Structure 1
Amino acid sequence: MSRKTELEEIFSRMLHDPNDDPSEYVIYVIDRGSSSGLRRIWGDEIQDVKRGFLVLWNAEIPVHRVIRVERGGRVIWERGRRARGRR
């Protein structure tokens, strides 16, 4: 069994920790269909994370497209950066 990545740990905590509020999270993903090239997803839009996809009520987005995660307005994960304080 493989160990969870830091990003997987963040999503797991966001979705399953009763002390965490998903609406405090903002996830930025690469979106080739938008004019900015990015899409902002609020944490409470995510239903689940399965097989490497963020599962929304109307779409599935590959986790490899996530480039940044913010919680309460603070960056807690960013692609290409070393681990930061989580809370």
Structure 2
Amino acid sequence: IMHAADDGKVKIMRNTLTAGSSIGMHTHEGNCEVMYIIKGEITFVCDGTEETVHAGEVHYCPCGHTHSAENRTAEDAEFFAIVPETKL
């Protein structure tokens, strides 16, 4: 279940990444993304580097960079994401 707000300049989302699911590799062109993990853990691959982020921690993907997210656990993970547009 995703809850989102988008005013064309900033997208704000609260989402659940269910156990075993993923968000595919994508590049942030013209924006960046900040993801705060609320519950569980998510494994990110950002520009080829893997990191596992736990509840209470933040993952950041800068503008022009590529990342993916995967929940490799048996429990759902929840996150809060902010995607501000950086292009003028």
Do they superpose with TM above 0.5? no
Task: Point out which structure has higher relative CO (alpha carbons under 8 A, 6+ apart).
Answer: 2
Which has the larger share of helix? 1
When normalised by structure 2's length, the TM-score is 0.31
Which has the larger share of strand? 2
